[in-house]
A = this chain, B = another copy of it.
Amino acid sequence: MQSLYHTYVANETGLPGTSYVSSPEGLSLGVSSPLTDEPGTNPEQLIGLALATCLNATLRINEANRHEPVDAAVRVRVDMAHDTEGYQFFLHAEVHLPKHDRQSAEAMLALAERRCPVAKLVGPSANVTIELVDEFTTQA
């Protein structure tokens, strides 16, 4: 494996606490359990942000490379629920390509799923779904 980029991140506190990128001026984020009222982000938001960012970046790079309208937007809902052991997350990504017809939108999404590193990591899980939508589901 020839690494093109690497980063180190860490958590030494659990929740609540701090998670950080261990490089000079690296990101540092307060984190907390979503089951409490304490301020901070949490693993649910972080993995959702990773998928939304990576999938949308991949979609938009592919659109630009193919000289198509660069219109992609991705929203991810993350749910936390009990599991047989501990908890489990469910990720549902909605992909919106308003300037593409259904057929070309499906082709762009299929290509992005094959190229997006985060989709490759989490996509095989039965808890993860990625769906093309005409508009984002009303948030609740």
Chain A interface residues toward B at CB < 8 A:
1-15, 19, 21-22, 26-27, 29, 31, 33-35, 41-50, 52-61, 70, 72-83, 85-91, 114-118, 120-122, 124-125, 127-128, 139
Contact = CB atoms under 8 A, between A and B. Distances in A.
Most buried by B among A6, A26, A87: A6
- Residue in A53, A80, A91 whose Cβ sees the most chain B Cβ within 10 Å: A53
Given A27-B41, A122-B121, A3 B88 contact: no
Given A114-B86, A121-B127, A48 B80 contact: no
B53 A15 contact: yes
A14 B46 contact: no
The 8 closest A-B pairs by CB, nearest first: A86-B115, A14-B60, A46-B50, A43-B54, A47-B50, A9-B48, A12-B73, A10-B75
